[in-house]
Structure 1
Amino acid sequence: MSGHSKWKNIQRRKNAQDAKRGKIFMKHAKDIYIAAKQGGGDPDMNAVLRLAVDKAKSDNMPNDNIDRAIKKATGDLDGANFEELTYEGYGPGGIAVMIEVLTDNKNRTASEIRHAFSRNGGNLGENGCVSFMFDRKGYIVIDQETTEADEDTMMLEAIEAGAEEMETTDGAYEIYTDPEEFQSVKNALEESGFTLETAEVTMIPQTLSEVDDSAGNKMVNLVQMLEDMEDIQEVHHNMDASDEIMEQI
């Protein structure tokens, strides 16, 4: 994973600064809904649901909201039927973009996404056009200030927990796992007393694509338009640009 420090800095800032409370709760509710729909409504028996609930609680989502999303999925409440979809395309400057969506109206969502791409100099593509450029990984961050463990000790702890790789960057230990092993690694580290700043399964670009400021600014606008859409769960890309632009995105 070396060479991705700028991407990882973006991820940490994004997780720390993602600000719109109502939209955050809505996205968590959709994550919980789809996890419960696919694997049942008991978090103790459904690791994906447990992760979704943990992420919602970390953003202070009320328990009533969490319970309502689970009950909708299990049929205990009437509600919309959501589909989990992925859209792929190229942003300005040929940047690879992957968009994870949870929607009850895919025609509306596709139209909105297509509009965002065309307005910012990009193109919505076919499934598979950029996904090969990303790896799905479990990603865990532990701030060095929250632990007394040095790098060697942390490495041993991560390996013993089942992690694939660990890097030390910008005052943090960044741990990568196989997606299937993510929950067990997360649990093991928490049981060992570590405080996890970030813990998620996400898409990590294999390489970054550098663009000039003009394309970079258009990419910032594209990402902001996409993230403002209610149906969008996550936006992944492989852009590398000036520090000023990366700070914006």
Structure 2
Amino acid sequence: MGRAFEYRRAAKEKRWDKMSKVFPKLAKAITVAAKAGGSDPLMNAKLRSAIATAKAQNMPKDNIEAAIKRASGKDGDFVELTYEGKAPGGVLIFVECTSDNPTRTVANLKSYFNKSKNSTLLVNGSIDFMFERKAQFKFKTNDDLDSIELALIDFGLTEIEKAEDEESTYIAYANFEDFGHMQQGLESMPSLEILSSKTVRVPTTPIEVDEENLEIVEKLLDKIEDDDDVLAVYTNIL
């Protein structure tokens, strides 16, 4: 994949290792899911996936339960927002947020882009078509991969791959519309341990970025991802 990819991955893993930032973001995702589809995980696939992701990050049970309860109160009045931008070297950036104050959120993002060299926040819809929404599931198993793949095809599996540097761990993909169906399929297989389940945005045309521009982009991404309202950031970097 090249040095740029390795640098990007290492930097991102280092950032998300900060539990002080991760837990509040995970809690917000749980609250939003419970607000939208109800507080019963059995009846709410999005909530189940948010809880599974939180558990995989070792988020305490009390924190998870508190986030679910928060959905029924005034503190649960979050809205889901998306923003799009561009950076040097042809880099496209798609940002997913949840916020109780959209005015604050957009002001912060505009500031991050404006202060970054040759970067700008775009009008929504400008680059949305450059990313494909997919359902992504990470799980562990010691079962035969071929038999698992055959079983999951009926639930919408489109692709499966071995997770890098993680033994007996795999990443499966399905179409965005098949998220709930695929989640049910994985949950029906007792030999699998689901580590995370989420929707992601995959660039349709990934690009390589030179080191000079990559350094600028990384600093911008650091600012964006550290924002409390930001849940996920996607780029077209290879």
Please say whether Structure 1 and Structure 2 have the same fold, judged by a TM-score greater than 0.5: yes
Aligned twin of 2:172: 175
Alignment of 1:93-132 (within 5 A): 93-121=89-117, 122-132=119-129
Aligned twin of 1:239: 237
Aligned twin of 1:243: none
Aligned twin of 2:57: 59
Amino acid at match of 1:35: A
Two-structure CA RMSD over aligned residues (Å): 2.9
Aligned twin of 1:155: 149
Query: 2:84 aligned to 85, 88, 104, which one?
Result: 88
TM-score, normalising length: structure 1 = 0.80
CA offset at residue 230 of structure 1?
0.9
1:92/1:13 CA distance change after superposition, 3 Å:
closer
Amino acid at match of 1:184: H
Stretch of structure 1 that moved more, 36-45 or 134-143: 134-143
Distance in 1 of aligned mates of 2:40 and 2:177: 19
CA offset at residue 175 of structure 1?
2.0
1:133/1:8 CA distance change after superposition, 3 Å:
farther
Aligned twin of 2:38: 40
Distance in 2 of aligned mates of 1:182 and 1:219: 31
CA offset at residue 181 of structure 1?
2.2
> Any stretches of 5+ residues in structure 2 without a counterpart?
none
> Any stretches of 5+ residues in structure 1 without a counterpart?
241-249
Query: 1:188 aligned to 181, 185, 190, which one?
Result: 185
Amino acid at match of 2:108: E
Correspondence 1:227 to 2:225: yes
Count of equivalent residues: 231
SS in 2 for 1:79: helix
TM-score, normalising length: structure 2 = 0.84
Higher relative contact order (CA 8 A, sep 6+): 2
Aligned twin of 2:72: 74
Aligned twin of 1:245: none
Stretch of structure 1 that moved more, 153-162 or 89-98: 153-162
